[in-house]
Structure 1
Amino acid sequence: MVAPRGQFDKGIAPLLWFIFIAIIFATLITINAIFIFKKKQDKKRVFAILTPLLSLFPFYQALRRLASLLSPVNSLYTEFPAIAIIFILIFLLYLICAIAFLINHLTLVDKENDVVKEEKLNLQKRWTIFLERFGRTDNPLYFYIITLFIIAILFFSSSLFKDSFTIPFGGDFTQQQLQFYINGYDDYWSFFKTGQFPLWDTNTFLGVNNIGSNAFYYALNPFFLPILLFPRSLVPQGISVLMITKFVLAALSMRAYLKYMGIKETTARLFALMYAFCGWNVYYLWFNHFMEVTVMFPFVFLGIEKVFKERQPFFLALSLAIMGLANYFFLVTTCMVGVLYAGFRYIQLFTKFPNNRVRIEVIGLGFLGFLFGILGAGLAFLPGLDVARNSDRVTNATYLDNLKSTFKLKDWKTLIAYLTKWETQNESFEYKKFYPLISFLFPTISDRSVTLLNRSSYDNTISSLFTFTPVTLLLIPSLIHSFKKRKASPFIALGIFLLAIFTPFAYNLFHGFTKEYGRWQLFPVFLLITYVASSYEERKEFKRWYFDVSFVVIALLMGITYLWAFNYQNKNTFTFLFQREYVAYYQFGVLFVVYLMFRYMYEKKAASPVLFAITTIEAVIMGILTLNFHGTISYQNHVFGGQTSFKQDEEVIRKIKALDGSYYRVYSTSARKGRDNLPMALDYNGVTTFHSLYNFELMDFNYWSKINYNYLGWSLGVHEKRPLLDQFLNIKYYVMRPNEANPTIGQEQNAVLRPNVPLTHILDEEMSTEQRLVFGNDNHFNTGFAVDNIMSYEQSDGEKIIDVVRNSGRTGIVKIEELYLQSAILSFDDFNEVKKNHPTFNEIDFKYYQMNAHQYSNGLSSEFGFSKTIYYCSREFPITKFNSNELASRSCTAFNVGSKQHVGIVFERNNGQPFLSNSGSIIFQYPLAAKANIYLLGTDGKIVTYDNHTSPSGSTTYKVLRGFSAPKAIKRIIIIPQETFKDYSTSYIFTYDETTQNQIIENTKRYPLENIKWKRNEVTFTTNFEDEKFIITTIPYDKGWHAGYVNKITNENSHIKVYKTHGGFVGFVAPKGNNQYSLVFVPEYLTSGLLASFGGFYFAIVGLVYLRYKKKKQQVKVAA
């Protein structure tokens, strides 16, 4: 639980403290500037660099103290954005020092190495060399680093300076990345404060394995950790700083690789810039955790080269391990392409190895490097893979199965077609083979689509091969140059890559045959830049006609591709190009300018600075284009629902937590589709998510109660307000805006008798705020309850096991939600096991269970039938005055489809009786995807309750049953569509009177859990049953949950088998007697992952230290 926001005393002391620290900090900056520019003694320069870094923490604390002085609710940085920008710029300035040191440590190929070999190096001497290198005037590294930072800031400038220094990409970035980072921020600070890392995360949907589900995004990512230096309210701004920094780090890592490959400093910096801002990196910006892939990718290949040239695998192992912790998904891809690269380079270098022993040794060392690198990532890789393998992206993948089946049938023609043709999988996929060509020739301008094929939906096949126009234009001259030098390897590599990027096999292979991802294309981008950079070093041997040929070929390709793309305008899910057409013209212009530069300047020394300038301009323009064509949303008005709304939600959540420290879930109308991850940002247990790796053990439950927005996928939410479902899910509090609870209808204010919240929930004025109303459930259970009934949701037909709940239609949804509160619901095997070992339990057969709800059907003439009448009116449908006179005055016509624009759909029972005779609930079939206001009218014709169920966007009818709770009889239901009218089917209406509903809920109170205590990864409670019971919890199932008990009387203790009940929740059989229980969560493969990571990092780091020691010893020996 998060403590409520503290109250601060406003006084002069915090202000004086801030002024004092600010003066010290300003003084240190001044001293630093004087020492660096004057280049005085080494110790003073060390002091000048280190002291401002050390002062960052007190300066940060001072800002926080001043923030508390000025406002107890709002952050200083929110109220005074200029201070935020100043702080961020200062942070960036001194981060440069640390980055420079890192790069100096990683690249040992400069002139200083020659000096080092001549004499013994003590600590002071090493610092002297570093400082001289850092401060020298001939192409200083720090100047390059500062330039990269400036380019990165300009790249994002169209967003940074209008959206409070944030980069609010529309889509996944603002719906996932921001919330995930805040959730991780809370987890780590909780760990620092309590010493317990949250292995189980209750904020991610209903609960997840924190390592397994969130390692892909941030949980163990070293590049995530600097976000902890920022105040919580500045996490979005902190992400911007990290994204800018990762651009810089990507350039520096590529520079290190290129220099190791023998590329000169100036050339290495130029092409490192192109790599850092390449189209691939830009295309995945809205998945900002992919940026660390571009940082680590060159280091992996630098490690491979070190195996060949230095016979040491340790740098490779360390690079792979960090890559795996940062993004274990891409570790798989990196290892695959890394092995291919290593094999290709091994063949190239084969004759250069001195003997066969070395040749064999290199293979062994390379194997060790990959092995220990993968082991080093084990802490993220093993738990993450265990969760990911249950994703429908994996379970529904068919490509590999198709290859296997055609191979077994020896259908070679079809097999080759699957390997080489996109259309084999789907005839409409013909356009996919053109994605690489478009992305190679034209810049990235969206993170959803390629430049010449405009679509709003995301296609995983798309990536980007754009490496800037100079590289594009240099490719053909480089190939001609290689041909003249009789180098075959570039042409072999080119042939392999052309086959791979235009056919589907590589897209499946490099991502484990899960989905056709284009993400592997970073590999050809990396090699293309490396190859062109090495050829650029020899450009003086080029002829001018090389560039003439290149320009003609590239221009023709661009023209043909541009004309071809018109075939798909407004077809195959693509729309018209609109303004994208001008991007094509712009790229033609850039091609011509670069061609002229090469035509007349390629031999001159000024070529590199000019190319650097051109690339900088291209990069900044590409950034501005991407932010505009992809689209951003307003940080102030829309991110988290808008900052004003977010603060109001934050205030009420803090208040709820301050007054109730127990375990429960909260339903908030602010957490709607598009804002599904709001619970992660506000640190509460919610019932919505948009998360690719949520707890897949819940898939059966999700299907039974239609929790997903669509049949499959990873966007889910409980919005329907069906009382028994909400009761089971432990939704103790409903949070809604006052205008949602008491809307104005027509001219009538407070027209609703009672908001649509379950009758068990009562307005809690103490928890409510001026902007949010809180309704609390006093008739709830905490964490779980016990029953003496068991049921199997599967049955055997003699040949296979069938899920009877899935096949039971709309009625099955209502029936199973009754049973959630009455019985354990087990798989066929688990049911039989429990039945055999515990024969005292009562058995329930789902097929023959008679639900307590009254069911009404459309079209029946009996007393259980109802009618549906559609009215089309010349003006607003009369909701509050629904009578024959009012209908006539508004020219309302029934069953005259399409004649009028204002629609009202009216449902009434055929016999004229109410649907509900007294207070109770109604479950009504009308899809959530249909935006509509629904009103329930009483016998007096007045509105009793109303809801639109957050009006989620969507196009499917998967979520079909809406819930309503009414304090009195309901006679009529009226739907007013809020979009283009579509006549959705409404076949069933179910009702519960309040007495019956409460009787079902009372089942959870018969055998309660007592003395419940929640810790981070453990739950304890007691029971005192006369007979054994089956305990059902609302904790989602995971193999990492372990249960045990101790009998308080006999001190007998034992482990208990944990079952998956209710299609995805933890359950177990509890013995009779007075027992103390403990549920402990330890992620599956956590221990083995820890051991693997320890082994991998130990191998890598100890190996590097040993090599350093050995090298130093040799230097001393030479110096002597």
Structure 2
Amino acid sequence: MKNYFKKHYPLLLSFWTPFFIMLGYFIYRGFYPFGTSSVLTVDLGQQYVDFFAYFRHTILHAPTDFFYSFSKALGGQMLGEYAYYLLSPFNLIFLLFPGKYLTAGCLVVLLLKYGCAGYTFGRLLNKNLKINGLLVPTLATSYTLMGWLIANQLNMLWLDAPIFLPLIISALYKLLSTKKSTGYVLFLAAMIFINYYMAYMICLFLALFFIWYQTEYFSNKKQLLKQTWLFASRSLLAIGVASALLIPTLYSLTTSKGQYTETNLSFKFEYLPFKMLSKFVIGAFNFDQMPEGYPNLFIGSLALFGFILYFLNRQIKRHSKIAAGLISLFLAISMCFEPLDLLWHGMQFPVWYPYRFSFVVSFWMIFLAAIALKKSDLALKNWQTLIILGLVSATLVYVYLDRKDLDYISNPTLLFTALFNVLVLLLLTLKKSEVHRLLTPFTLYLVVCLELLANTAYSLNNISYLTQEEFETPSTALTTDATTLSQLDTSFYRTAQLYARTKDDGLAQNLNTGSYFSSALEKSIPDFYGQIGQPDGDNYVGYYNGTLISDSLLNVKYLLQAKQTSELTSGQSDTALKAVSFRPDVSLYQLQTQTNKTRIYQNPYAVGLGYAANKALKNVKVLYNQPLTYQTNWLNAATGSAASTKYFYASNFNEVVFENTGKQVNLTGSYFKKTDLSKDAQIIFKFTPTTNDSYYLTLGSNLSGDYATWYNGTSEYSLYDTFRHTVVLNPATSEKGQEQIITVKFKKNTLWLDSFVLYRMDNKLVEQKLKQLQKSSWKITFYNSRKLTGTINITKKNQIFATTIPYSKGWHATVDGKSVKTYKIQDTFIGFNIGKGKHTVTLTFTPPGLWLGCIISLISLGITLLLYLQQRKRQK
């Protein structure tokens, strides 16, 4: 053991030093299981943790969900989601952490990723740069706890990139020096497989690194050509090995994220480049830096000084310095010049978390620092010390003078930065007696660890986190509801949420809730939601504002409603669930069962996943910002009713009270302004239903939570208040003769009542039409995520088979065993022609490009194996 530790302690410390530093911080913050807080924040709490729960369910219970899931909004292919979110080998650890313990799993995975990043970088320093001793874990810890990784620890899916980058660079060294290609091909292929997005950035960086390598180790043109061929061919081979996943993912991107690719370039600097110098200060990060900020570049004093020293060290060849300088300049410009920034992000501006590629910049700086510190033997000459001191002092003075525009900079963090800078400079400048030579590496190791811990604490203390209870309470309630429903009904159906934790609750709980949040959401889905009056965005949808028509046509068979606080026992009242929708029209549905905190209602009018529809449905046009008109057109076309058939009738308010704003006779489309800008303004709308029908209110996008707060009576309206198209609210159902009061409070000095109309729905006529469709619905007899089989009775010649399954080329339909051609209806769903009579209909999903990708992967793996065998033969 003693000999093993003596030989391997640099790599052991490279793993355990960042591991224990972060473990200490997590314990200090009281993250679960060490306290009542959790590591969940922003996207980790709102998105990723639900994907991890879905991963557990897929692996343990439903393998077909790997390819497709109906929990992805209305349904969608999942290979693209796996390729971006879920293929890290570390995710297997989540299999050990069910339910509420998933937060503890996140903490364990984070610690292991920190440790492994330190180990792989330490291995690169030790194996390829021949660095030994404490300098290895010192720089490995600088790499692991760099500003990018600390700022992005909540983006756990990206953290495999800094782990694999040193492995790929090390394998590249081996490829170019010994022609052994297996390691390079497999490590690069693994990175592409784990996360193609971060792998893309690594591939761009590899091209830059290869240029530097050739200047550093150039011998002759013949060798240059051979190594260029090796680098290009083996890189393409790695892409080929990953094609089984990459090609289906590329198809997925063409229908989702790829449709938002930026084509108009602005040749401009995004900010003053000197601003990024502030990111070398301790704690230069806060919440405001997440949506839009500067690149995270903190690497600690030693690594920063080492990077500068690389260009001052006379032992390093001039042409290597020139190449490194040009690459460094290119990377610096990439972090502020818009076209290059777009290039690194796949020609799409990041939604939050800007300059995601800056981890390769930090890697590059620490890598060059390692070379310089090794050659200088941790000793600076006086003139080098003066230059570094001058540059650092100028930087700190600039940041100090500009601190008013940098809200993440404080006097204490500037003071700590200066203190650590001075300490490190002193240690590097002291004359090296034998005692100093022994103590300096250890002292530097301690100082660097303290500096990185200070940066970690100052950076992460600026972020708020979910408590364990905030995660556990709604998750437990949803799990209970999901279990209850699975025992209650084994047929295929969708479920609407009137309470929620996140938009990915359905994914986490295996419930088809219709809501979803993901970077790879197919564009047609938010487009459709924008037409039916539901909240939508480029990467999310929320099914919260359903009507009897949309619920039934989309086969929303059950609604989950949270009990009000007043209904809970005293011990439960402090953990009430968050309502996301106010739906009095649940009174039209049947109360099926209830739990301690929720009620489950059944919709007796749910049509089914597929139904016989009139051919007119093929001609329904796209219609934004008129959701009730679109729903009318949908129901009329499906049932073959006359286009003039109406279900919604505009209703007037009985009284409108204007407070601190001018009166208007016509409300819809009116523009209001505060009379006294120093006081609050509001408008109170009153109406008394004349029937027990459902009443619906439409709100345009200018009435979202950014502009107004809505109240139902004295309570704030439960609604998802971020939407970009007109949405539908349901203020009253079965409340004939009871006065309803709706209040809107201004959030700004003006308010535009965009698309503001109150409607009454003819419930009886709607129910009659829905029952008509139910008679010819698809009776599913078998289903999983990839295959559905059932029978249907087509009673009329002019009918088609219509579904609410989102259209994809991956779906293949058969009628009575014979393949039929599918087409897109409503610009969203699958439809196909079908003859009159009783039929057995089967739909099967295979990810487009899967078989082609598998063939390319097998060929590429075969070539890799042949190259390996050839290399072994040559060695023998």
What is the TM-score of this pair, normalised by structure 1? 0.69
Return closer, same or farther for 1:948/1:1079 CA change in 2, 3 Å cut-off. farther
**2:21 aligned with 1:183, yes or no?**
no
Range 144-153 or range 526-535, more displaced:
144-153
| Residue 594 of structure 2: aligned partner | 768
Instruction: Indicate the residue corresponding to 1:430 in structure 2.
Output: 271
Q: SS at 1:676's partner residue?
A: coil
The answer to whether the 8 Å contact 1:924/1:962 transfers is yes
Q: Deviations over 1:539-560 (max 9, x none)?
A: 2474133122212211211221
Q: Take 2:657 and 2:314, find their aligned partners in 1: how far apart are those partners?
A: 75
Report the Cα distance in structure 2 between the residues aligned to 1:544 and 1:756, rounded to whole angstroms: 78
1:447–1:626 Cα contact (<8 Å) kept: no
Distance 1:169 1:269 in 2: 29
Q: Which AA in structure 1 matches 2:259?
A: T
Structure 1 residues 196-248: Cα deviation after superposition (integer angstroms, max 9, x where no partner):
45411122222221112332111x33332232244454322122111111111
Which blocks of at least 5 consecutive residues in structure 1 are unaligned?
1-35, 38-131, 403-417, 423-428, 450-456, 570-575, 745-753, 795-802, 825-840, 857-864, 874-894, 909-913, 936-945, 1047-1052, 1115-1120
Rate the CA distance shift 1:741–1:659 in 2: closer, same or farther, 3 A: farther
- Contact conserved, 1:1013 with 1:1021, CA < 8 A, in 2? yes
**Which residue identity is paired with 1:1015?**
N
Q: Does 1:990 align with 2:828?
A: no
Q: Which residue pairs with 1:263 in the alignment?
A: 130
Pick the aligned partner of 1:701 from 528, 553, 557. Answer: 528
C-alpha displacement at 1:327, in angstroms?
0.7
1:854 aligns with 2:649: yes
**Structure-1 residue corresponding to 2:447:** 614
Residue 490 (str. 1) matches residue 354 (str. 2): no
**Aligned-pair distance for 1:430?**
3.4
- Cα separation, 2, equivalents of 1:970 and 1:984: 30
Distance change in 2, residues 1:1025/1:443 (3 Å)? same
Q: Quick one: distance in 1 between partners of 2:629 and 2:45?
A: 38
Q: Which amino acid aligns with 2:559?
A: Y
- Equivalence for 1:646: 475
Matched, 1:730 2:520: no
Contact 1:928 1:962 in 2 (8 A): no
Q: 1:301 to 1:819 in 2, by over 3 A?
A: same
The answer on 1:298 being equivalent to 2:194 is no
Alpha-carbon spacing, 1:249–1:743, altered in 2? closer, same or farther (3 Å): closer
User: Secondary structure of the equivalent of 1:855?
Assistant: strand
Match of 2:696, SS?
Answer: strand
On the 8 A contact 1:172/1:286 being kept in 2, the answer is yes
Q: Deviations over 1:505-536 (max 9, x none)?
A: 32111222222651222222212111110110
- 2:457 corresponds to 1:628: no
Find the aligned partners of 2:232 and 2:853 in 1 and give their Cα distance: 20
How far apart are 1:1103 and its partner, in Å? 4.4
Flag the 1:628–1:682 CA change in 2: closer, same or farther, 3 A. Answer: same
Task: Please name the residue that 1:97 is paired with.
Answer: none
Relative to 1, partners in 2 of residues 1:1067 and 1:855: Cα closer, same or farther, differing over 3 Å? same
Separation in 1, partners of 2:777, 2:198: 46
Looking at structure 2, the residues matched to 855 and 611 of structure 1 have their Cα atoms a distance apart, in angstroms, of: 75
> How far 1:349 sits from its partner (Å)?
2.7
1:249 paired with 2:28, answer no
Counterpart AA for 2:341: Y
| 2:47–2:517 contact (8 Å) kept in structure 1 | yes
Cα shift at 1:284: 1.6
The residue number in structure 1 matching 2:610 is 784
In structure 1, what is the Cα distance between the partners aligned to 2:784 and 2:727? 37
Separation in 1, partners of 2:521, 2:313: 52
Structure 1 residue 934 corresponds to structure 2 residue 712: yes
Q: Which residue of 2 aligns with 1:679?
A: 506
Higher radius of gyration, 1 or 2: 1
In structure 2, relative to structure 1, the CA distance for the partners of 1:948 and 1:716 (3 Å cut) is farther
1:98-117 aligned at under 5 Å gives the runs: none
Structure-2 change in CA distance of 1:997 and 1:1027 (3 Å): closer
User: Matches of residues 360-375 of structure 1 in structure 2 within 5 Å?
Assistant: 360-375=225-240
- Cα distance change of structure 1 residues 228 and 304 upon mapping to structure 2, 3 Å threshold: same
C-alpha distance in 1, partners of 2:71/2:431? 59
Question: Which of 785, 805, 812 is matched with 2:623 structurally?
Answer: 805
Q: What's the CA shift string for 1:656-676, capped at 9, x where partnerless?
A: 11111111122223226xx22
Q: Is the 8 A contact 1:759 1:965 kept in 2?
A: no
Distance 2:865 2:19 in 1: 30
Shift in Å, 1:994: 2.0
Say if 1:447 and 1:329 are closer, same or farther in 2 by CA, change over 3 A. farther
Equivalent residues of 2:618, 2:825 under 8 A apart: no
User: Which residue number in structure 2 is paired with residue 952 of structure 1?
Assistant: 720
Q: CA deviation at 1:984?
A: 5.4
Q: Is the 8 A contact 1:786 1:1004 kept in 2?
A: yes
Distance 2:215 2:675 in 1: 78
Kept after mapping to 2: 8 A contact 1:668/1:736: yes
| RMSD of aligned alpha carbons | 3.3
Q: 1: CA distance between counterparts of 2:869 and 2:99?
A: 37
Distance 2:477 2:515 in 1: 19
For residue 963 of structure 1, report the CA deviation from its aligned partner. 2.2
| 2:403 and 2:410 in contact (8 A); partners too | no
Match of 1:1041 in 2: 811
Shift of 1:158: 3.2
Q: C-alpha separation between the residues in 2 aligned to 1:475 and 1:178?
A: 37
Which SS does the other structure have where 1:727 is aligned? helix
The equivalent of 1:480 in structure 2 is 312
Number of corresponding residues: 833
Query: Structure 2 residue aligned with 1:1064, among 828, 835, 857?
Result: 828
Report the secondary structure of 1:1021's partner residue: strand
Unmatched runs of 5 consecutive residues or more in structure 2 = 570-581, 661-673
- 8 Å CA contact 1:321–1:376 kept in 2: the answer is yes
- Pick from 395, 400, 404 the counterpart of residue 562 of structure 1: 400
Matching of residue 157 in structure 1 with residue 24 in structure 2: no
Point out which structure has higher relative CO (alpha carbons under 8 A, 6+ apart).
Answer: 2
Q: 1:1065 to 1:743 in 2, by over 3 A?
A: farther
What SS does structure 2 have at the residue aligned with 1:223?
helix
Asked if the contact 2:554/2:607 (under 8 Å) is kept, the reply is no
Equivalent residue, structure 1, for 2:374: 537
What amino acid maps onto 1:298 in structure 2? P
Question: Structure 1 residues 918, 733: CA separation in 2 closer, same or farther (over 3 Å shift)?
Answer: same
* Alpha-carbon separation, structure 2, partners of 1:703 and 1:521: 36
1:941-991 Cα offsets, whole Å, 9 max, x none, are xxxxx986534354x674432124512425643114578587552642111
Over 3 Å counting, the alpha-carbon distance change for 1:285 and 1:493 in structure 2 is same
What is the rounded CA distance, in whole Å, between the counterparts of 2:774 and 2:463 in structure 1?
52
Corresponding residue number in structure 2 for 1:128: none
TM-score computed with the length of structure 2 as normaliser: 0.87
Residue number among 473, 477, 497 corresponding to 1:668 in the alignment: 497
- Residue 390 of structure 2 corresponds to 552
Q: Say whether 1:384 aligns with 2:249.
A: yes
1:401 pairs with 2:242: no
Q: Report the secondary structure of 2:711's partner residue.
A: strand
Separation (CA, whole Å) in 2 of partners of 1:741 and 1:721:
25
CA 1002–295 in structure 1, closer or farther in 2 if over 3 Å, else same: same
Q: How does 1:871-886 map to 2 (within 5 A)?
A: none
- Rate the CA distance shift 1:371–1:221 in 2: closer, same or farther, 3 A: same
Code of the residue aligned with 1:217 in structure 2: it is: Y
2:779 to 995, 1010, 1016: 1010
CA distance, structure 1, for counterparts of residue 49 and residue 431 of structure 2: 46
CA shift for structure 1 position 756: 0.9
- 1:869 equivalent to 2:869? Answer no
Could you tell me which residue of structure 1 aligns to residue 575 of structure 2?
Answer: none
Give 3-state SS (helix, strand or coil) of 2:685's partner.
Answer: strand
| Matched residue type, 1:780 | A
Of all paired residues, the percent bearing the same amino acid is 17
Matched residue of 1:631: which SS? coil
Q: SS of the counterpart of 1:905?
A: strand
